[in-house]
Amino acid sequence: MIFLGPPGSGKGTQAVKLAKELGILHLSTGDLLRNAVKEGTDLGKQAKEYMEQGELVPDHLLVELIESKVNAGELSDGFILDGFPRTVPQAESLKEMFTKNGMTLEATVLLQVSDEEVVRRLSGRWFCPVCQRTYSYPSNMPKVDGVCDDDKTKLQRRPDDEESVVRNRLAVYKKQTQPIEDFYRKESVLVEVAGEKSPLAVFDDLLKVVL
């Protein structure tokens, strides 16, 4: 399965939950790239600047990353791809990888959220760098402002959640990623889910369309 949707649509949250429910792998290219940047690997060094500006990392780097996972057999028992593909060439490369490896795509889930909701959500998104718990101001705030409820660590924001970067990420989504909605519509695997309800209500809707 593939998860599509603008930044802040909740695709990470929903993909993690659904993967757990189905007992399959959740693979987020954003997480893989952030780890690569943190560890200072070659990939991380090449990706860092693009990520800081909210631009897409070049296609060949992402295609090689996913190809290495496919070749290592990591996707053989079912998976949700979260954040890949993000361009038509990435979607075409993925299709080739699937054909070559006898894999089938069951569904591409598109979470629909308006631009204003995206900006509102991401500008209130904080996380604990130790336990990764996430908070959203003002709907889901920690008991003490700026401090994780579980381990009292000081909360952080993703640098690319700053409003000007969010606006650029949205523009990039519209220009480079939205065209792949049609790519999957033509393949008859696109299912659309309204993403502006509560996370639980969205998850309920999601289960109805994918199970």
Nearest-approach distance from CB 208 to ligand AMP, in angstroms = 25
Near ligand AMP in 71-100, by CB under 6 A: 83-86, 90
List 17, 69, 121, 125, catalytic entry: 125
Near ligand AMP in 12-71, by CB under 6 A: 29-30, 33, 50-51, 54-57, 62
133 vs 148: CA distance, rounded Å? 8
State yes or no: is 158 an active-site residue. Answer: yes
44 vs 32: CA distance, rounded Å? 9
State yes or no: is 121 an active-site residue. Answer: no
List 17, 69, 86, 121, catalytic entry: 86
Nearest-approach distance from CB 179 to ligand AMP, in angstroms = 14
Pairing of strands 125-127, 134-136: antiparallel
9 lies in the site for ligand AMP, by CB under 6 A: no
Where in the chain does DSSP place strands (E)? 2-4, 25-28, 79-82, 108-112, 125-127, 134-136, 190-194
State yes or no: is 133 an active-site residue. Answer: no
* Token pair belonging to 143: 């008991």
List 11, 17, 69, 121, catalytic entry: 11
Q: How many CB atoms lie within 10 A of CB 99?
A: 10
What would the x/- binding string for ligand AMP be over residues 94 to 133, using CB under 6 A? Answer: ----------------------------------------
Where in 29-169 does DSSP place strands (E)? 79-82, 108-112, 125-127, 134-136
H helices of 53-103, where?
59-71, 88-100
Q: Which of 6, 161, 169, 190 binds ligand AMP (CB under 6 A)?
A: 169
Point out which residues bind ligand AMP (CB under 6 A).
Answer: 7, 29-30, 33, 50-51, 54-57, 62, 83-86, 90, 160, 169
Active site (catalytic) residues = 11, 86, 125, 158, 169
